[in-house]
Amino acid sequence: MHQSKTGADHIASLRDGRDVYIYGERVDDVTEHAAFRNSVRSASYLYDFQAQPRNIELMTFASPDTARRVSRAWQLPRSHDELVERRRALEAWAGTHFGFMGRSPDHVASCISGMVMGLDLFEAYDGKRAGALRDYYRFARDNDLFLTYVIINPQADRSKAAHQQADAELSAGVVDEDAQGITIRGAKMLATSSIMANEVFVTCIQPLQPGDAKYAVSFAIPMNAKGLKTLSRKSYEAAAHSSFDNPLASRFDENDAVLYFDDVKVPWERVFVNQSPDMTLKQFHATPAHVFQNYQCQIRLLVKMRFLAGLAHRIAETNGIVAMPPVRDSLGQIAAEVGLVEGLLCGMEAKGRMAGEYYVPDRHLLYSAQVLTQQLYPKVINAVRELAGGGLIMLPSGVEDFSNPLLAGLIGKTQQSPAATSEERVKFFKLAWDALGSEFASRHVQYEMFYAGASFVTRGHSYRTFDWAACTGMVDGLLSSYPGPGHSAGEADAAE
């Protein structure tokens, strides 16, 4: 019982009859399907990684209820030191996928852990719903579940409230309620990693309008719940030509999906909020949930930014431009931008505060990081592409070209570098394109720009949480230090 979860355990847990669709067909087994199998293994490797004896202390802690070693993502930090200890585990996990799996299991675990840190809010709302959340946290933690979430209503007419859409049952909402629980009908976007998660947390983070109460729910169900349909987007993994040609898309395509709830029954013990717009918002913002889930994102992003900086430097070495002053200048800018992300991360930890018995990263520095990094990511991608020139495209069509002696000879003649063999050059630029320009890479730009909400949303959080009074107070202080018209300097001094 004390043994921690392994990758094999996770793969086995996904063979649960879940209802997943791609390319017009139902998927029998996500762990073997060409669209998903490598990503499933990358996700499962996270559990093998944390279970390794040399990593177990870094990556896991003993559940207070069962003593089983589980991911530190479930740990509720009580001090700055514990927060940093937890971050080191999350950083090491992100290192296994170079930051390319945005919705790794630590993301929603961080959200649910943050909600539990604010359990008193749920107690004040409804003791039974608070009990459901507390029990669910323990269940998910002790089984080290991989959770995903869907917290956004599908785009349709964004100028109208959920209940005013042409189809009032477009967004998932309650259509029935009885002694056993609630019944949910409708859709949510965008369940990243859902094909390889055990369960999904379903709620609404968007502000709801009067008349929208039926959409204001919060619950968790297994991915194989009766009536839950997972509608996958195109698979970049299936479209990957080979691991040589698409080293990232072939292994780290975490997938995104629309979820459709076809009258899914949710038992009361899994319902945390029932038809309360006020509580659905407060569960994120009046508890540490929103801070913890997005703090995890910044930890992962730092790893990805370091990887992109590595790509940039290697491009410059490969093309013999690394000593050129303008190239050094560009690399220096990229390095500074990596430093910005790291500085904000350390800052939000250092400036954190106690919320009850828990230590929580600084809210405004987190939102600063969100606002700035959703602008920064496309900028950095562009800067690295600018260094690369046509090398990202001047590539053999596929790994098979190396097996044709004529083509292999021509590749040797045409793919030249002062720092790499022709084979190394091709291998590297194939990786660079998958990170910077492929369809997989392009989806990552969209991801980093939107995973935490559109820019007007993150700027709204930054506005809301900033200490304006301290700043306007400085302005007032300066204004009061000199006289207005009609007053002498002496009067102003006397007023001080």
Binding of ligand FAD at residue 234 (CB under 6 A)?
Answer: no
Binding of ligand FAD at residue 220 (CB under 6 A)?
Answer: no
Single-letter code of the amino acid located at 39:
S
Q: What does the alpha-carbon distance between residue 79 and residue 137 come to, in Å, rounded to a whole number?
A: 21
- Taking CB under 6 A as the criterion, the residue among 58, 152, 408, 445 binding ligand FAD is 152
Binding of ligand FAD at residue 439 (CB under 6 A)?
Answer: no
Binding of ligand FAD at residue 77 (CB under 6 A)?
Answer: no
Token pair recorded at residue 495: 């007023």
Token pair recorded at residue 432: 């660079």
CB of 236 to ligand FAD, least distance (A): 11
Binding mask 385-424 for ligand FAD (x = CB under 6 A): ----------------------------------------
Region binding ligand FAD by CB under 6 A among candidate stretches 186-194, 207-215, 288-296, 390-398: 186-194
- Taking CB under 6 A as the criterion, the residue among 89, 306, 453, 461 binding ligand FAD is 453
- Taking CB under 6 A as the criterion, the residue among 25, 329, 357, 456 binding ligand FAD is 456
Phi, psi values for residue 241, rounded to 5° = -75, -40
Q: What does the alpha-carbon distance between residue 309 and residue 393 come to, in Å, rounded to a whole number?
A: 20
Token pair 């698979």 is found at 235
Name the DSSP class of 152: B
- Taking CB under 6 A as the criterion, the residue among 84, 121, 168, 189 binding ligand FAD is 189
Binding of ligand FAD at residue 164 (CB under 6 A)?
Answer: no
Q: What does the alpha-carbon distance between residue 62 and residue 142 come to, in Å, rounded to a whole number?
A: 9
Q: What does the alpha-carbon distance between residue 243 and residue 427 come to, in Å, rounded to a whole number?
A: 10
DSSP per position, 30-61: TTTSTTTHHHHHHHHHHHHHHHSTTTHHHHEE
Binding of ligand FAD at residue 488 (CB under 6 A)?
Answer: no
Instruction: Classify residue 252 as exposed, middle or buried by CB count within 10 Å of its CB (0-12, 13-18, 19+).
Output: buried
Q: Which residues contact 210 (CB under 8 A, 6 or more apart)?
A: 161
Region binding ligand FAD by CB under 6 A among candidate stretches 32-40, 131-139, 452-460, 476-484: 452-460
Q: Which is nearer to ligand FAD, 148 or 422 (CB)?
A: 148
Q: What share of the chain is helix, strand, coil (3-state, %, to 5)?
A: 55, 15, 30
Binding of ligand FAD at residue 103 (CB under 6 A)?
Answer: yes
Separate counts of helices (H) and strands (E) for the chain: 19, 14
Q: Which is nearer to ligand FAD, 313 or 443 (CB)?
A: 443
- Taking CB under 6 A as the criterion, the residue among 149, 284, 367, 377 binding ligand FAD is 149
Binding of ligand FAD at residue 448 (CB under 6 A)?
Answer: no
Q: Which is nearer to ligand FAD, 294 or 422 (CB)?
A: 294
Binding of ligand FAD at residue 72 (CB under 6 A)?
Answer: no
Binding of ligand FAD at residue 99 (CB under 6 A)?
Answer: no
DSSP per position, 405-466: HHHHHHHHHH---SSS-HHHHHHHHHHHHHHHTSHHHHHHHHHHHHTT--HHHHHHHHHHHS
Q: Which is nearer to ligand FAD, 47 or 201 (CB)?
A: 201
Q: Which is nearer to ligand FAD, 101 or 334 (CB)?
A: 101
Q: Looking at the DSSP assignment, which residues form a beta bridge with residue 182?
A: 177, 266
Q: Which is nearer to ligand FAD, 105 or 391 (CB)?
A: 105
CB of 188 to ligand FAD, least distance (A): 7
Q: Which is nearer to ligand FAD, 148 or 319 (CB)?
A: 148
- Taking CB under 6 A as the criterion, the residue among 324, 336, 454, 495 binding ligand FAD is 454
Q: What does the alpha-carbon distance between residue 280 and residue 188 come to, in Å, rounded to a whole number?
A: 15
Binding of ligand FAD at residue 132 (CB under 6 A)?
Answer: no
C-beta separation of 430 from 245 below 8 A:
yes
Instruction: Name the site residues for ligand FAD (rule: CB under 6 A).
Output: 103, 148-152, 155, 158, 189-192, 256, 443, 446-447, 450-451, 453-454, 456
